[in-house]
Chain A
Amino acid sequence: DAGVIQSPRHEVTEMGQEVTLRCKPISGHNSLFWYRQTMMRGLELLIYFNNNVPIDDSGMPEDRFSAKMPNASFSTLKIQPSEPRDSAVYFCASSLALGGSNTDTQYFGPGTRLTVL
């Protein structure tokens, strides 16, 4: 299995531009998570989906951030417009949730390092 795939691996953009991060979860997994990691705030959950449906988006910082999961094998995280404070590493993770209680661990992708100038 290729694991969780993220693209791009690095993104440098200017303030005000739109940024789209992409994620392909592990085949057969039905839950997908977007995290942000910074030195100041550590690792934060932004949003997670189960069976392509957003379940908890309480970590999405503001309306500039949006996430979609149009099918079981693809998700996007979009920032529009981007700001320098959005600079961080964004991780996507997936897991297999069984019944109502997920005991499976979350498998993380390699991350996208975003720099907003």
Chain B
Amino acid sequence: ELKVEQNPLFLSMQEGKNYTIYCNYSTTSDRLYWYRQDPGKSLESLFVLLSNGAVKQEGRLMASLDTKARLSTLHITAAVHDLSATYFCAVASNFGNEKLTFGTGTRLTIIP
């Protein structure tokens, strides 16, 4: 059974600082996704990572994937208040399968 763990679960950080959210998963997979969820809202897709060493960046967020270590990171650079949200990683169960297993989420709060 695929297990996906995120840490930290809660993260409070000051504006302007850098930090990283980690996503570990237990079995081989070919796809990893990052989503953002604002309180009371739906999930918004941020990144799709498809291969070992993949790196994608959008604004102050950068995601990377190491399939050998079964690890993905979401790096936040010079955080701003607008980035406050819950971030989820999700991993595909196996090759060609569309089923995603979501991590527990990391609730990020940016303090002015």
Contact = CB atoms under 8 A, between A and B. Distances in A.
A44 B101 CA distance: 7
Interface of B: 30-31, 33, 35, 41-45, 48, 50, 88, 92, 95-105
Given A43-B88, A48-B99, A101-B95, 15 more contacts: A33-B98, A33-B100, A43-B102, A44-B102, A48-B98, A91-B42, A91-B43, A100-B96, A102-B98, A103-B31, A106-B100, A108-B35, A108-B43, A108-B44, A110-B41
**Interface of chain A, helix or strand or loop or mixed?**
strand
A75 B49 CA distance: 29
A50 interface: yes
Nearest to A31: B98
Nearest to A99: B96
Chain A interface extent, by class: 20 to 34
Contacts of B44: 108
21 contacts: A42-B102, A42-B105, A43-B43, A43-B88, A43-B105, A44-B102, A45-B100, A45-B101, A50-B98, A55-B98, A56-B99, A91-B42, A91-B43, A97-B98, A102-B31, A102-B96, A103-B50, A105-B45, A106-B33, A107-B45, A108-B42
